[in-house]
Every structure is written in structure tokens, then in C-alpha cells.
Amino acid sequence: MHESSEQRVKVSERIPSAKAKELFYDIRRKQEIAKNDLLTASGLTTSTLTRVLDELVSIGVISESGLGTSTGGRRPILYQVRADYGYAFGLDISRFESRLILLDLAGQIIESVEWQMGAETTPDQLLGQVVSQANIWIAGHQIPFAKIIGMGIGAVGPLDRATGIIEETEWFPAPGWQNVEIVRLLEEQLNIPILLDNGANTAIIAEAWANRAKDFRHMLYVHGGTGLRLSMMSDSKPIYGAADMEGSFGQMIIQADGIPYRTTKGNYGSLDSYASVYAIEREVNSRLRTGRSSQLQQMLQPGERAKFSHIMQALKLLDPMVTEVVTQAATYFGIGLANLLNILYPEKVVLGGPLMTDSNLFFYTATQTAIRKTYHYPKYQVVFSKGSYGEEAIAVGAALLMLNQLT
């Protein structure tokens, strides 16, 4: 990408008027919408609505898509988003794996690629892959530079959204993942607008988009992986605290005099120490050392520690010891989840990450535990889901984070 920063159009200025932004927001939330429905929803006069729609058509963000069903008069004109108006990249930076996707304006995934995060995956190495892949996709799909709206990043925190810096992250397999000026580095190489948020926030943006027809106003998203990551949405907007709160759920105290946290920064008896990938690996390896019988002993070399992938393989074989450990971890997770439900009362809770996607046992044990311990049950009903995008949720939400800047 060779165009200068002066040639870039600010995302927020692509749709210039406030009325046009509001109308585009309404159209974008539907696959197709009739002019009569827009007239009712917007409260605009017919002449104003026609003028603003013409403005959006001339910009190229929407198009007329045909005629709807008549309710007595003339058949109404239908409008839809022009998917090829623009494209956004979504980058998920996580500890196990990272992912880049390309999304069009209609929210359809055009391309997706995943990288395993190994001991060699430093920031420079990953960003080199990201830049190379982005340029390959742009060339392959012959996308003009003007149609690249930007890139959103959903990353492991803590991070500073305003400065675009990934701060004191932990447990990456490669060195160098502290105080990474990720936004500056990618903007310099790609010369497109970049936005940074934590991965849990971008995932909940993706899930809200997938559920936009149901209009859930209050949602929770919890990512169960190496650590536990949380985001919240109220009135259909992500909630941001005074500090990056992605890791706050993992620091919920379950037993005040319980297991020490894995570093000096965390709480004794925190949920993360009982219900994360780290906690399951620690407990399984402890039991193996004490001589507990398990099919894992046939999978491992002498002295080798069981990793999460081994544990999930043994779980599929219904290994009793592994099943016991995973069930225990899921029960603790469910207790922590019930604490959240009893405070926040969301309408929907989406559970993502390796703990959920790799194990039905964990998901169902955790959710049933949470339901049993939720105050006002069964009067209060909550919908649990593994989500609509699976492991692509963080990356899809990151791209949507950028596309949402249009309105």
C-alpha cells in the first residue's frame, strides 16, 4: 500500500451527515429494508428521507435492491448495504493462536488465516506475517486502496486503547510482548487506520452483530483460555471501565485463603487459579505426579508434562481422572459465572475460547452450575451460547469495530 496518509479518508468522514449515518446504521442492521419501514423507524419526512437515501446511494454505501411486497399501494423500494463499498481487516492476537480475517461492508468473511503462536512468534514476526497476508489478499481480490476502511485489532490485555499499546501482557510463548506499539507499527507498514481493543470486547461486538435481529441489549462474553477474559455490553454498547478490565473475571476471589496466583500480581484463591487452561494443566500434572492412573501416561514421553491438547484428547477417550479435573474446573467456572449473573442479570451470555470450543463437558457443567446458583431462577432466564463465530469471534469483532466507525 503506497498511498500517503494525506490521501486517506477518515473513516468517520466517509458518510458526512449525521442523518445519513443514522439511516445507514438502520439499513446495515438489516439484510434488506423497505423505504416505508425506514420512514417509520427514522421519523423523517418523506422528502428528507428520500434526500438522505439518495445521498447514501451516491456515496456508494447502499443500493436499491428491488421492490418489496405491496400493502395496498405501490410496492416499496428496498435498500441494502453495498458489500463491495469497502473492506476491513480484523486481527486477533491471542496466546495460543492469532488470526487475520477480511470482512466486507455487509459483514461477510472474505478471507481468514490462522497462525499458531510458538516460541518464535515475536511481535515483529507476527506483524510481518500480517502485513504480507493483507497485501496478498488486497492484490488477489484487486481491492482499490480507497476501499480499505482500516483494521481493527482484538488483543490480549492489559492494553491502552487510546495510545494503541499492548502493555504488560503475560504468558505469550515468545518474548517481546510487552509495551508493543501495535497501532503505530501497523499503521506505518499498511498506511491504513488501525484501532485497538481487547479481544473480549471485540468478540462481544461480533456476537452482538450476529444477534442483531434479536436485539439483545445486555450481554456478557467470557473467553476461557490460558486465562479468563471478560467483556460486557449494555444498551447494545460495550462497557469500558476506568482501566482495561479484560482480566477482571479471572481475579474474582473464590477462596480467600486458596491457591496462590501464578504470579505476584494476582489474588489468592482467584477464579483463574481454578478454572483456566493453566489451572487444568496444573491439576492434571499434579495428579499424574502422585501416581493417579490415566490414559495420558500412554500419550506422554517420560518426564513430559501434559498440555491442554493432550488433556482434551484424553477427555474424548472418557479418561476418568481427566474427566474429574475438567468437571471440577467447570464447576468453579460456573460459580464465578453465577456471581456475575447475580450482579449484572444479562439477557445472553456467550462463552468462547478453547475451554468452551474444545469441551462440551466444560460448557454444560459450567452453565448448569451457574443456573442452579443464580438468584431469581427460574423467573430470571438467561440464554447461554457458544457463540456464532467460534474461534473467529475476536477477529470478526475487530473488523466490525472498524466498520462501526462509519456511523
- Contact between 338 and 328 under an 8 Å Cβ cutoff? The reply is no
Do 324 and 220 lie in one domain? The reply is yes
- The sign of the dihedral angle between the CA atoms of 88, 238, 94, 310 is negative
pLDDT of residue 72: 67
Confidence of residue 1 (pLDDT cuts 50, 70, 90): low
Do 100 and 246 lie in one domain? The reply is no
User: ∠ at Cα 227 (384, 314), nearest 5°?
Assistant: 80
Alpha carbon distances (Å) from 198 to 232, 330, 397: 12, 24, 10
Do 241 and 339 lie in one domain? The reply is yes
- 144-156 mean pLDDT: 96
CA-wise closest residue to 198 among 216, 218, 217, 222: 222
Of 81, 106, 123, which one is at a domain's C-terminal end?
Answer: 81
pTM of the entire predicted model: 0.89
- Contact between 312 and 358 under an 8 Å Cβ cutoff? The reply is yes
Supply the range of the domain harboring residue 39.
5-81
- Residue written as grid cell 479481544: 199
pLDDT tens digits, 241-260? 777 767 788 899 988 889 99
| Number of domains observed in the structure of the chain | 3
Confidence of residue 217 (pLDDT cuts 50, 70, 90): confident
- 264-278 mean pLDDT: 92
Do 230 and 163 lie in one domain? The reply is no
Of 49, 81, 113, which one is at a domain's C-terminal end?
Answer: 81
Do 62 and 91 lie in one domain? The reply is no
Instruction: Tell me how far apart the alpha carbons of residues 338 and 288 are, in angstroms, rounded to a whole number.
Output: 31
Do 319 and 276 lie in one domain? The reply is yes
**Considering the chain, what is the average pLDDT of its residues?**
91
Confidence of residue 4 (pLDDT cuts 50, 70, 90): very low
pLDDT tens digits, 198-208? 999 999 999 99
Instruction: Tell me how far apart the alpha carbons of residues 267 and 255 are, in angstroms, rounded to a whole number.
Output: 10
Helix axes 277-289, 308-316, angle to 10 degrees: 80
pLDDT of residue 5: 42
pLDDT of residue 168: 84
Q: Which residue has the higher pLDDT, 226 or 395?
A: 395
Q: In this structure, what CATH number is given to the domain that contains residue 44?
A: 1.10.10.10
- 318-335 mean pLDDT: 97
Q: In this structure, what CATH number is given to the domain that contains residue 109?
A: 3.30.420.40
3-state secondary structure of 398: helix
Alpha carbon distances (Å) from 47 to 42, 50, 53, 358: 13, 5, 10, 54
